[in-house]
Amino acid sequence: MKNLFLLSLIIIALFGCEKDNEEERLMKTKLALSKDWQLHSVKITEPSQFRLNQTLDNCSKLKIWSFEDTGYFSFKEEEACNPHQYVHAGSWRIENGKFLKIVWKEINYGQPGGEMNLLIEEVSADSLKLKHEVILYDGDNKPFPGVQKYTFIRK
């Protein structure tokens, strides 16, 4: 009876620690993500026939993705790249400990926005790497599932 009680305590302690570690990891990820990020590169990595590094125009490079610790999200753009003063804003959260969900809309003119679900590959003090599943089309307009990778640097 005593051994059964000790075994129960050990099992509870192990699973309790695992949950604490997961919550701690989630809090660290949220804290590291809660900053301004500048898009550095976009790559299509799958399928292989579509593999390429996309060339970013100056406006794409100047667009800042801002994640506040309150869950507020916005795209910040230079005036030269945004003459109509569109404001794209919404919310962000981490789902299942590994996906970044962003929901936004255009605020000033009420245009519809969108939703993105991105796999968090890496978040550190200096870089953020995200994967996004996309549909790509070949020359015959045949659809293929693909993967696009975004790399950001801390602004």
User: What pLDDT score was predicted for residue 8?
Assistant: 52
Give the model's pLDDT for residue 6.
Answer: 47
Question: What end-to-end distance do the CA atoms of the chain give, in Å?
Answer: 59
Closest Cα partner for 51 from 146, 153, 154, 152?
146
Q: Is residue 94 within 8 Å of 120, Cβ to Cβ?
A: yes
Render each residue's pLDDT in the chain as its tens digit; 155 residues.
555 554 454 555 555 555 567 788 778 888 888 889 998 888 887 777 766 666 777 887 778 999 999 999 998 888 888 888 888 899 999 999 899 999 999 888 878 888 999 999 999 989 999 999 988 888 888 898 888 899 999 98
H or E element at residue 129: strand 127-137
Q: How far is 41 from 54, CA to CA, in rounded Å? A: 7
Global pTM reads: 0.76
pLDDT of residue 70: 92
CA 8 to chain centre: 39
Q: Contact at 8 Å (CB) between 86 and 78?
A: no
